Chain A
Amino acid sequence: MADALFLGIAVLTIGGAIAALELRSLIYGSIALMGMLGGIAGFFVMLDSPFVAMFQIAVYVGSIAVLILFTVMLVKRELIFKKIEDPRRKFAGIGLMLITMVAVGAVILDSGIHTITTGEDPVDFRDIGVDFLTYYWPALILMAFILAGSVMGALVLARREDFVENE
C-alpha cells in the first residue's frame, strides 16, 4: 500500500508534468518542470538509488532546467505568455492520452507484475562504478564523445553569422 511520502511525491511529479504543459507562462512552466524532475529524483531516493538521484538533480534540475529557462528568456515576451496549440487537437490529444494510459495500464495489471516483491538488499552504488569501468567502458567513451559532439554542435548551431564586433 502506498504511503503518504509516495503519494506526496506522485502528486508533485504528475502535477508538475501537467503544469509544465498547461501553465500559460513558459517561465512558470519551466519551474513546474523543475518540480517534476525533482519529484523523479525523490522517487529514485525512495528506490534506494541515491547516486542516480544525485545525478538527476545535478544534470536535470541543475543544468537542463536552467538551460531551458535561459532559452525561454531569449524568446519574445508575447510568445512566452501566448498559448500555441491546436484547439481541435486538444480532445484528440486527451483521448490519445487516455487510450495510452488505459491500454498500457491494462497490460501491466494483467502481467502479474504486482506479485513481484523484494526482500533483497539494494544494489551498492560502487557496483555501478565497476560496471562503468569494466563491461560498459566502450559505451562510456562513446557517451563522452556524444556529449562533447552535442555541446560543440549546439555552439555551432547557435552561433550568429551576422554578428559584427565593434572594434
Chain B
Amino acid sequence: MSNELIEFVLVSVALLGIGIYGLSVKRNAIRMLFAVEIIVNAANLNLIAFARFMPHSGGQTFALFSIAIAAAEVAIGLALIIVAYRMYQNVDIADFRSLKG
C-alpha cells in the first residue's frame, strides 16, 4: 500500500472542519443534517484508516456500528424536520425556537 496513515487522517481533519463550518453557519435544518453526516464520515474514515495500519478487526466492526447508528439518526432527524416543516412551513431553525420548552 503506497499511501500513508497521515494522508487519510488529514483528509478526515479537512472533513471535520467543513462539517463544523456547516453546523455553525447554516440555518437550514437539512443542510445541518448534511454537516453532521460529513462529520460522522470523517470519524468512520479515521476508524478504518487506523484499523488498517494497526491491523485489528475492532476498527472495522466499530465503523459498521457507526454507519448503522448514523442511519437511525438520519431517519429520526428527517422525521423531525418533516414534523417541524409541517408546523412552521419552513426549514429555518431560527423559526423552530418556539419548540423550546
Q: Which residues of A contact B (CB under 8 A)?
A: 1-3, 6, 10, 13-14, 17-18, 20-21, 26, 29-30, 33, 36-37, 40, 43-44, 46-49, 51-52, 55-56, 59-60, 63-64, 67-68, 71-72, 74-76, 79, 83-86, 89-90, 92-94, 96-98, 100-101, 104-105, 108-109, 113-114, 116-118, 120-123, 125, 127-128, 130-132, 136, 139, 143, 146-147, 149-151, 153-155, 157-158, 160
| Among B21, B25, B60, B65, contact of A49 (Cβ-Cβ < 8 Å) | B60
Q: What are the residues of chain B within 8 A of A74 when measuring CB–CB? A: 82, 85
Q: Is the CB of A105 within 8 A of B78?
A: no
Q: What are the residues of chain B within 8 A of A139 when measuring CB–CB? A: 65
Chain A proximity of B6: nearest CB distance (Å): 5
Q: How many residues belonging to B are interface residues under a CB distance threshold of 8 Å?
A: 74
Chain B at the A interface: SS class: helix
Q: Which residues of B contact A (CB under 8 A)?
A: 1-11, 13-22, 24-28, 30-31, 33-35, 37-38, 41, 44-45, 48-49, 51-61, 63-65, 67-76, 78-83, 85-86, 89-92
Q: What are the residues of chain A within 8 A of B48 when measuring CB–CB? A: 43-44, 47, 49, 52
The A-B contact count (CB < 8 A) is 239
Chain A at the B interface: SS class: helix
Q: What are the residues of chain B within 8 A of A117 when measuring CB–CB? A: 4-5, 53
Q: Is the CB of B57 within 8 A of A127?
A: yes
Q: Is the CB of B6 within 8 A of A114?
A: yes
In the complex with contacts A21-B21, A143-B68, A122-B74 CB distance below 8 A: no
In the complex the two chains form, what is the Cα distance from A109 to B56 in whole Å?
Answer: 23
In the complex with contacts A64-B70, A97-B17, A158-B83, A21-B31 CB distance below 8 A: yes
